[in-house]
């Protein structure tokens, strides 16, 4: 079972977290647009002028620039900066939220894994052996029918617990895969390859 830290290495693959890079880029683009709107626009003009008095043509070129313009789009720039700060704060909150969710899911996954392994390796074989021995004792006439039924009921109860624990493990592993964006087998393989 990989450690919680090994899962945290993959948390950047989470789609909910990955979308924030787009949001941050969008906020930065809004700031660049607001800054460009704050620059003074120069207007170029060109034309031909005909003087009727002297009957001459003249080519004219002109540049116009607004003077004393007080609109430097400071409000738009401030709003864009506030959006960037808000986006970074929301990104950080999403990281923290996902870290908390990962910790919760890892706890569930670890507990389910421990239960599955204990049931599969220790309890289920013992219950199976007890049932087989009780059934043999019943067939040989050494034990009564109720003892055999009790051993059978215990075996079925343990099998049911094992299947429920296995279901909990698979649900937790699916939640973990959704959080980290990588199949658990890849994480286990990377952990084994690191050894």
Q: For the chain, what is the radius of gyration of the CA atoms? A: 37
Q: How far apart are CA 117 and CA 165, in angstroms?
A: 9
Spatial contact of 162 and 124, defined as CB atoms under 8 Å apart: yes
Q: What is the pLDDT of residues 99-131, one digit of tens each?
A: 899 999 999 999 999 999 999 999 999 999 999
pLDDT for 137: 95
Q: How far apart are CA 37 and CA 157, in angstroms?
A: 73
pLDDT for 195: 46
Q: Please give the torsion angle defined by the CA atoms of residues 140, 143, 144 and 146, in that order, rounded to the nearest 10 degrees.
A: -130
pLDDT for 60: 81
- Please identify which residue in the block is written with the tokens 């900066």: 81
pLDDT for 69: 56
pLDDT for 52: 77
- Residue numbers of the chain with a pLDDT score lower than 50: 194-195
Tokens of 8: 């945290």
Q: Is the pTM of this model over 0.85?
A: no
Q: What is the pLDDT of residues 76-97, one digit of tens each?
A: 888 888 999 999 999 999 889 9
**Residue 59: strand, helix, or coil:** strand
Per the DSSP assignment, residues forming a β-bridge with 66 are: none
Q: Please give the torsion angle defined by the CA atoms of residues 146, 151, 154 and 160, in that order, rounded to the nearest 10 degrees.
A: -110
Q: How far apart are CA 154 and CA 171, in angstroms?
A: 26
Q: Please give the torsion angle defined by the CA atoms of residues 155, 156, 160 and 165, in that order, rounded to the nearest 10 degrees.
A: 10
In this structure, the number of other CB atoms found within 10 A of the CB of residue 76 comes to 17
- Please identify which residue in the block is written with the tokens 């990104």: 91
């Amino acid at each position: 079972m990989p450690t919680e830290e090994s899962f945290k290495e993959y948390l950047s693959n989470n789609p909910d977290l990955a979308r924030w890079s787009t949001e941050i880029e969008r906020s930065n683009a809004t700031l660049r647009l607001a800054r460009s709107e704050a620059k003074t626009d120069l207007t170029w003009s060109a034309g031909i002028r005909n003087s009727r008095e002297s009957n001459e043509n003249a080519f004219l070129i002109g540049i116009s620039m607004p003077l004393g313009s007080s609109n430097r789009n400071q409000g738009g720039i401030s709003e864009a900066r506030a959006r960037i700060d808000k986006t970074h704060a929301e990104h950080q909150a999403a990281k923290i939220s996902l870290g908390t969710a990962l910790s919760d899911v890892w706890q569930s996954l670890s507990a389910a894994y421990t239960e599955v392994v204990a049931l599969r390796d220790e309890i289920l074989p013992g219950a199976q052996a007890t049932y087989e021995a009780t059934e043999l004792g019943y067939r040989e006439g050494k034990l009564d029918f109720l003892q055999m039924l009790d051993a059978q009921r215990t075996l079925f109860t343990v099998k049911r617990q094992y299947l429920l624990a296995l279901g909990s493990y698979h649900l937790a592993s699916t939640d973990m895969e959704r959080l980290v964006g990588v199949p658990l087998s890849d994480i286990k393989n990377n952990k084994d390859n690191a050894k």
